Structures are given as C-alpha cells and as structure tokens.
Structure 1
Amino acid sequence: MAVAKRLLLQLHVVIAVAFLLDGAAGLRMAIMRTECLTEEVANEGDIVTGSFVVLDHQSAWAEQHPGMDLGVTGPGNNHVYSTRWKVEDKFSFRALKPGPYKFCFTNHAPAPKSVIFQVHVGHTISPEEIAKAEHFDPLALQIGKVSEALALVVQEQAYLRAREERHRITNESTSRRVVFYSFIETAGIVTASLLQVFFLRRLFEKRGKRVSV
C-alpha cells in the first residue's frame, strides 16, 4: 500500500499544480556566459523531459548570435544530450543511471540573454516494483500513469506560455523599430524639404539682385 499511497500523493500534487498555479512558469535565468543546473534522478530508466525558450533573442546584438547552446551530462560526466544555437527547444531522454544530471547553457552573445527553462523527471512503476509491493492495488499503476500525463500537460502549458511571451517580446521589438525608422525617415524628409526651400530662396534672391542691377 506504500506505493499506492505515494502515487496518490503524487497525483494530488500534480492536480494542485495544474489547477492552482494555472500552469508552471518555469525557471527564468539571465545567462551571461555559461550557467549550469543540476537535477537529481532517483531511478534508472526514469524519463527526463524539459524545454527552454530564449526570450530576448530579437535584440540588435542577439541577431548576430542567435539562440543558445544546451549540454546535458549524466553521472560520471557522460554526455547525454546537446543542442546548439537554438532559440527554443524540447528534449526527452531515458536516464541510464540514477544520480545527478547537469544542464549547462552557453551564451555566445556579448550581453546576457534571458531564458525560461523547465525540466521534469517522470517515473513509471515497473512490473518488478509491483511484484515487490504487498497488497498492491492495480489502480495504483493507472494513477501513476495519470499523474505523469498531468505533469506533462503542465509542462507543455509552461512551454507554450514561454513561447507566447517570446513572440510578444518580438512583436513589441518590431513595433519599436518600425516607429524609430519611421521617425528617422520623417525627420529626413522634413530636413530635405527645409534645405530645398532654403536653397530655392537663396537662388531666387540672387536672381532678383541680378535683375535689379
């Protein structure tokens, strides 16, 4: 019954996160060069899923250095997953060993970048665990599956929220650029018109003096 109780508690926690928090926001970080985080995996075979979204990639300096690198290493510093120059990405892998897994972001731009990162370690009860459990309720296995499914839904909601925020920042940045360039263009037209008026007046004044002489 201990396994069933643990699964019920896990289900209650996930439901609370899904409905009370209205979707997780993820961990927001400002990365200058390299930043690493560690997530503990308790069991061999656990599924590790996650995502990240770079928010301010549309700034002037970021256009020449788009995206960010992510490298994941497992126990013993073994390579697990990597991606380069991405403004957003989702990943999933099966942990071959229990222990700490390190997630390292690398920013190649000369200024900090903001990134929203989230990771989830999912565990499904194996047949061996079911066989070892005394008085195991078959519904506990289904509860575990529902719990993991809800956790993935919450994670996907957080990823979509981060993408929505990135698109909003992009639209605002584009709007500011349009206004700025429109102002520069208008100022240029006004300046050119004033110069034309000035030179035309000078030209007519010179011609008027010649005629009077």
Structure 2
Amino acid sequence: MAPWKVIPVLISLLVACEAIKFEIQGGSSKCLGEEIGKGTLVVGEYKVVEASAPAVEKISVKVTSPFGKLLHSGDIVPSGQFGFTTEEAGNVMACFWIPGSTAGQFVTVELNWKIGVNAKDWEGVAKKDKITDIELDLRRLEAQVTSVLEEMTYMREREMQMRNLNEITNSRVAWFGILSLVVCLGVAGWQATYLKGYFERKKIL
C-alpha cells in the first residue's frame, strides 16, 4: 500500500458541512484526522458516490484512536457507519483505500462526520422527553454552549501542556549546554596539563 495521505480537517469545517467528498486514487490511501477531546460522541457515515469502474465501487475503512486502538473497520464495502465515544483526547484518524486497485483507478467518497453536540439524536430526545420545538432548541443551544466551553478548556489544557513541555525542553538544553562547556573546559585543562608535563619531560620547556 502506498504511503498514507493525511488531510487535517477542522471541526468547524465538519460542523458547517453536512458531508464532505474526497477522491481516492488506486494504489494510495487517504486519511482524515481530527483533534477530539475525551468523552466526545463521534458518529460517521460514508459511501462511495462515484467510481472509475464497477470493480472499484467498494472501499476499505479503518478508524483509530489517538493511541492506535481500532474503533471501526470496514473491509470491501460500498458504504458504512460508525459511532463511538472517545476514551482519550487526541487525534482520531479515519483512513480509506481501494483494496486490490491499481494506478489510474479512483473512487469518490462522501463522508458525513458529526462530532459532539452535532452527533446527538435530537429528534429522539424530543420524542422521548415529549418537549416542544422551542424547548428542544433551547436544549440544543445549551449543549452547544457547554461544548464550546469544554473545547476551550481542552485547548487551554493543551496549551499549558505544550508550554510546560517547552519550558522543560529549554531547561534541559540549557543544562546540557552548561555540562558540555564544563566538559570542554575540563578536557582543555587536562590537555594543557598533559602537554606541559610532556614538554617538561622532554626538556622542551
């Protein structure tokens, strides 16, 4: 299989569009990655909408967690669905390829990937709780606000982690530089002492 082609997709893009379409060339793969927080509901649906030949109207799919855990797989299928709640924060990857294809063949895949509030079945909530449209809109708005706050908190935590990592790295680099300088000075002093003794023994000095 050819090297993976990774396409970063922003949450805002996925939310704004009901579905996205992308093309997969024969002999290669395409992956879509999204940074998702822990405990987030993710629902996806994919299908082949165009193919260069009937023989390549089916694809294989693999969705993995940030630590490589398999969350969903589909082998030689024209369409499929997946749904899960993330167990850890990080980059969730969805990879697609055409099994047994060759160069020149291609398929176009349509992916509807919903995250967080947008993945919730609000119609089911309305029927279950028997609430009006206005009450449903208020609940959805409340959930969206909560989701935004959680996302902001997650981003602040990530920023803090990166800042701490940078500070630790800078500190280690500084100490390594100091240690290297001390070692160099020590070696230079030893060489000077050794050469001085050598020249004195040879009565050069």
TM-score range, shorter chain: 0.3 to 0.5
Query: Higher relative contact order by CA 8 Å / sep ≥ 6: 1 or 2?
Result: 1
Is the helix fraction higher in 1 or 2? 1
Is the strand fraction higher in 1 or 2? 2
